[in-house]
Structure 1
Amino acid sequence: MATIATGGPFAAIWNGRLMQASADFVRQSSGARLLGVTLTAYAVLWLLYFSVSHATVDIHFDVSEASVWARTFSLGYKHPPMMAWIFRAWLAVFPRTDWAAYLLAVANLAATLAITWMILRDHLDKERALVGMTALILVPFYTFLASRFNANTVMMPFWAATVLFYLRARRNVRWTDAVLAGVFAGLTFLGKYWGVYLIAGIAVASFAGDDLKRFWRSGAPFLMAAAALVVLAPHIHWLLTEHNHPAESYMTTSVMVSASFGSALKTSAFYLGGVISYVVMPLTFFAVLKPDRAAWRDTIWPADPGRRQALLLLVVPLILPALVNLAWPHRLTPVWAFPNWALLPVVLFGSPRLSVPAVAAARACITALVVSLLAVVASPLVAHAHLNSRRIAHNAHYRQIAAEIAHLANSPAVLIGGSEGVVQGLFYYLPAAWPMDSPPNDRDVKLSIAARAMVCIEGDASCRAAADSLAGSSGGVSDVTFAKTFLGYRSPPQTYRIAVAPIRHRF
């Protein structure tokens, strides 16, 4: 990458022996070794950042909600089932602790980057692939925004695997690659319905290119479609036969909105602007390499057929949501573009007209390492900031509230209702508890439920009235105050009303 201004200690390091040694390491190491070192450093540093920066708050309620779904196997929940299935398998091995949840998030990201490396090495030499990998590590979707495993992040490895095998099938028309592309496309859709845009991107790409006739005559597109349908068939059956399923309710109440065309246009523009802003570091890496006009032209519309396919698979799934929003307005946000980026390095750094020497790869790696180390150093400050954040105030007390409920009920097996901002986060810490509005279906589990409980925040008058009513003459109600401390600092106290009533009549 371009030389930073000479002079000063940083410039000496940037251009001196350390940089030369790093460039030599890149030249002399195999791709597998570079991948191993990069992913190990990435996983360790960002697991440390997630754990320390969230030391003053409890697990996000998205994770807690998934832990409820994971208790019972289903073909669908509020979202498609992949997140719950993975969470169920993870909790069968790891304890229900905060660090285990952050480890799942990091493992998911590392798997995504490992698959992405395979994509990059199919199209780029190791220096370009390394620049691309480290550029992605500096995208917030792979770091600061990815601390929780949810419906957005669960798609990431499956999306990357889909484009990997689609591009291989397009190049060599092997039936195994075609089947794997279809399987992973289906699994992406089972992560979140956003996966439909990946399928649309594949559809567009499959009708483009000079080898169009060869590709379709091979039967690869039909194998992809058949494999995807096999994977999706059980979930589609669930969608068609399950009445009043939560996915339908979630889409109508939380996703779709009523908006004018002008408002929808602003939302789409905000989405596209946000998408670009999130990848400013890879774009900066590209600019620092000083591409000439020929490199710019070859990047915007590549001469190589494989890179043109990669461009279509990147751009179509990113732009299509903005166009769909104009016809069917919905709660569109750039954060939903979490899984879309595996092909960005191929598009930015794939042109043979762009010079990417080993020293550029070394500088890219050191940049990513410095940013990651600075994040770890700053993580206690982030944790301290969480102590006084009103936006996430209740996230700090899920574990304490859960323990208090179990104590008051003399059992962790309870039905819980109350203020929405609190209730969703309790179930990760109370694995035997269930939401009051969706009790368990299993008869033995129902019989194990010992009490009903309500948790209300200050100012939620209707919840507090319902809590007092629940307690009645046979239960109990109490106001409890919690605070968190960190490195000698104490958060503002939060008071909750907790009412518990024993269940005397079985379900």
Structure 2
Amino acid sequence: MSHTTTLQPPIAAARMRESNETGKLFWLLPLHALVWTLAAWLSRSNLDTPGDMVENYVWGIEWQAGYAKHPPLFAWITAGWFRVFPHTDIAYFALSSLNAMAGLFGIVALAGRFVPRRLALLAGVAMAISPLYSNLAIKFNANSVLLSVWPWTAYFFVRYMQTREARAALALGVFAAAAVLGKYFSVVLLAALVFATLARPAWRARLIERRTLLVALAFAAALAPHVHWLVVNHFPTFAYADKRTGGSIGAALGRFGIYTLAQIGYLALSFAAMLLMVRERRGEAARLMAASLVKPSLNPDLWWLTLGPLFAVGLIACAARTQMASVWGMAQWFAIAPLWLAVLDRAGIALVPARALRVLGGYWLIVLAVTATIGYLGARRNSDDAAEPRAELAAAAQGMWNQRFGHDVPAVAGSPHEAQSVAFYSRGQTQYWNMGEPQTTPWLHLAGLDQRGALFVCRMGDVHCIVQARWISGEEPEPVSVHKHAWGRELAAREYVFFVVAPQG
């Protein structure tokens, strides 16, 4: 007689329903990325007012191992993206949204080390609603690139601590290096991982294991080209970072207090979203979620990963007297939603994954309505961020140069945002030269500009740029008036001047 073991029909059906439910939840995060790509395009007539995103591009296309202000990761990602996709605002917003989505899936993966997969996806849903992974993430720069890197670094850290896998050790080293290559602020993450390792006895034992050397070797190998660049170029990024330090310890403590309060604000919507997905006992769930931040015993592993970065920020910021911005910490809350889920699951408080669709669906409708209103009102009021015609200026510059010389502008300089926009909205052939600080753009030199030709672009009101461009180029200014259309309206024209250095021969 033979015996076979089969799943009872009710169990098999339940597992199939769970699998289908998980599959549906998986697609919520890509849809969220699509919604925010559209929302950013509706609300913004330009990429970002400070010009960070076009600056990313003009750095990245030179493929340096480091740049004057920051390490190179986010510039490399930008340059790689626009090797494939068109140089348009919506394509850039798509990159920003996909970066945030990658981070949300990292949060889901981290939560999956502590709770069932069908619940782990709710951690991504809860954090998707936070401003950290939505409207703040749309400006892709040195801060927002960490949204995708930090959660995956933490995931491979936990995976290595739990399994001792060599692959996890290597991945941990590579992702830790990538975090540093994103922004030096990532020393906060590394410090937090050290705190967590020392605080947890099982994790502390990994420090003396041979495989932990793989973490260090992978980290060093991935970081080596940038370290070499730092030494050769006399640590320029350190000098830039040093400008953000100084002041008294009292002022530093005050700034850290403001920074901490801002983090609470960033997380409020995620807290509310998690509660909306609780089946019942919401009052108890809210108390447990709040208590999880002050009671390490509820889940010591995730508690250290959640609060460790905040402790590290406080220590480093106060020791260095750093003038902190609240958005610097936008990537630090990768473990808080997994912590909440683990605590609720341990307490037997049921969550309803199907509610995630309703939570996000309602949120998406609000976002699209609000962002469309913001975009329309900005165009109607001719506000600076809406009416500034950066893409149109670039089209005018490239059109003029093509008409005269038969090819795209080879190099551009002038008012930074305007000149960098001319390079970004090109077909990838235009380089940027910083005429005020030429050492920050070492890939171009003045002698080369005379040979190849260059366009100097200045805002009409930027007297310093006009004087300097006239002196460097030796040419007379050519006034240009440019305007843009948005929401069926012709917006106010902006005035610029061009200085054309014709290519020799």
Give the TM-score of the pair, scaled to structure 1.
0.83
Q: Contact 1:452–1:501 (CA<8 Å) still a contact in 2?
A: yes
- Pair 1:429 & 2:415 matched: no
Amino acid at match of 2:481: T
- Pair 1:401 & 2:393 matched: yes
1:376 pairs with one of 348, 368, 378: 368
- 1:321 aligned partner: 313
- 2:294 aligned partner: 300
SS at match of 1:495: strand
- 2:341 aligned partner: 349
Q: Distance in 2 between matches of 1:434 and 1:195?
A: 28
* Residues 240 and 309 (structure 1), Cα distance of their counterparts in 2 relative to 1, 3 Å cut: farther
Amino acid at match of 1:181: L
Q: Please state how far the C-alpha of 1:205 moved relative to its aligned partner.
A: 1.1
SS at match of 1:500: strand
Q: Please state how far the C-alpha of 1:87 moved relative to its aligned partner.
A: 2.1
Q: Which has the higher contact order (CA 8 A, sep 6+)?
A: 1
Q: Distance in 1 between matches of 2:214 and 2:113?
A: 22
Amino acid at match of 1:41: L
Q: Contact 1:152–1:336 (CA<8 Å) still a contact in 2?
A: yes
Q: Please state how far the C-alpha of 1:169 moved relative to its aligned partner.
A: 1.5
- 1:366 aligned partner: 358
Q: Distance in 1 between matches of 2:297 and 2:17?
A: 27
Q: Distance in 1 between matches of 2:386 and 2:425?
A: 17
Q: Please state how far the C-alpha of 1:185 moved relative to its aligned partner.
A: 0.8
Question: Within 5 Å, which residues of 2 pair with 1:263-302?
Answer: 263-285=251-273, 289-291=282-284, 297=291, 300-302=294-296
SS at match of 1:150: coil
Q: Contact 1:169–1:178 (CA<8 Å) still a contact in 2?
A: yes
Q: Contact 1:52–1:383 (CA<8 Å) still a contact in 2?
A: yes
Q: Distance in 1 between matches of 2:289 and 2:326?
A: 28
The C-alpha deviation readout for 1:334-375, integer Å capped at 9, x for no partner, is 11122222211122221134444343x333441222111221
Q: Please state how far the C-alpha of 1:50 moved relative to its aligned partner.
A: 1.9
Question: Within 5 Å, which residues of 2 pair with 1:325-340?
Answer: 325-340=317-332
Q: Please state how far the C-alpha of 1:137 moved relative to its aligned partner.
A: 0.9
- 2:225 aligned partner: 234
Q: Distance in 1 between matches of 2:88 and 2:48?
A: 9
Q: Contact 1:35–1:114 (CA<8 Å) still a contact in 2?
A: no
Q: Contact 1:476–1:501 (CA<8 Å) still a contact in 2?
A: no
1:262 pairs with one of 243, 246, 250: 250
Amino acid at match of 1:266: G
User: Is there any run of 5+ residues in structure 2 with no aligned partner, and where?
Assistant: 1-13, 277-281
* Residues 324 and 111 (structure 1), Cα distance of their counterparts in 2 relative to 1, 3 Å cut: same
The C-alpha deviation readout for 1:70-91, integer Å capped at 9, x for no partner, is 2222211131111122223222
Q: Please state how far the C-alpha of 1:287 moved relative to its aligned partner.
A: 5.9
SS at match of 2:61: coil
Aligned length: 471
- Pair 1:184 & 2:172 matched: no
Q: Please state how far the C-alpha of 1:162 moved relative to its aligned partner.
A: 1.1
Between 1:478-487 and 1:372-381, the stretch displaced more is: 478-487
Q: Please state how far the C-alpha of 1:331 moved relative to its aligned partner.
A: 3.2
SS at match of 1:152: coil
SS at match of 2:184: coil
1:462 pairs with one of 456, 461, 464: 464
* Residues 422 and 57 (structure 1), Cα distance of their counterparts in 2 relative to 1, 3 Å cut: same
Q: Please state how far the C-alpha of 1:246 moved relative to its aligned partner.
A: 4.3
How large is the RMSD of aligned CA atoms in angstroms? Answer: 3.1
* Residues 263 and 298 (structure 1), Cα distance of their counterparts in 2 relative to 1, 3 Å cut: closer
- 1:210 aligned partner: 201
Q: Please state how far the C-alpha of 1:230 moved relative to its aligned partner.
A: 2.0
Give the TM-score of the pair, scaled to structure 2.
0.83
Between 1:460-469 and 1:370-379, the stretch displaced more is: 460-469
Q: Distance in 1 between matches of 2:258 and 2:283?
A: 29
* Residues 316 and 295 (structure 1), Cα distance of their counterparts in 2 relative to 1, 3 Å cut: closer
Q: Distance in 1 between matches of 2:383 and 2:248?
A: 32
Amino acid at match of 2:332: N
- 2:124 aligned partner: 133
* Residues 87 and 486 (structure 1), Cα distance of their counterparts in 2 relative to 1, 3 Å cut: closer
Question: Within 5 Å, which residues of 2 pair with 1:495-506?
Answer: 495-502=495-502, 504=504
SS at match of 2:412: strand
Q: Please state how far the C-alpha of 1:466 moved relative to its aligned partner.
A: 3.6
Q: Distance in 2 between matches of 1:347 and 1:172?
A: 20
Q: Distance in 2 between matches of 1:451 and 1:128?
A: 56
The C-alpha deviation readout for 1:457-482, integer Å capped at 9, x for no partner, is 42x3333334555675xx44233333
2:55 pairs with one of 58, 65, 73: 65
User: Is there any run of 5+ residues in structure 1 with no aligned partner, and where?
Assistant: 1-23
List structure 1 runs of 4+ shifted beyond 6 angstroms. Answer: 292-295, 442-445
2:98 pairs with one of 70, 85, 107: 107
Q: Distance in 2 between matches of 1:273 and 1:262?
A: 17
- 2:5 aligned partner: none
- 1:450 aligned partner: 453
Amino acid at match of 1:270: I
Amino acid at match of 2:58: V
- Pair 1:173 & 2:164 matched: yes
Q: Distance in 1 between matches of 2:213 and 2:442?
A: 43
* Residues 215 and 259 (structure 1), Cα distance of their counterparts in 2 relative to 1, 3 Å cut: same
SS at match of 1:454: strand
Between 1:419-428 and 1:274-283, the stretch displaced more is: 419-428
Q: Distance in 2 between matches of 1:75 and 1:454?
A: 28
1:419 pairs with one of 415, 421, 425: 415
Q: Contact 2:457–2:496 (CA<8 Å) still a contact in 1?
A: no
- Pair 1:201 & 2:192 matched: yes
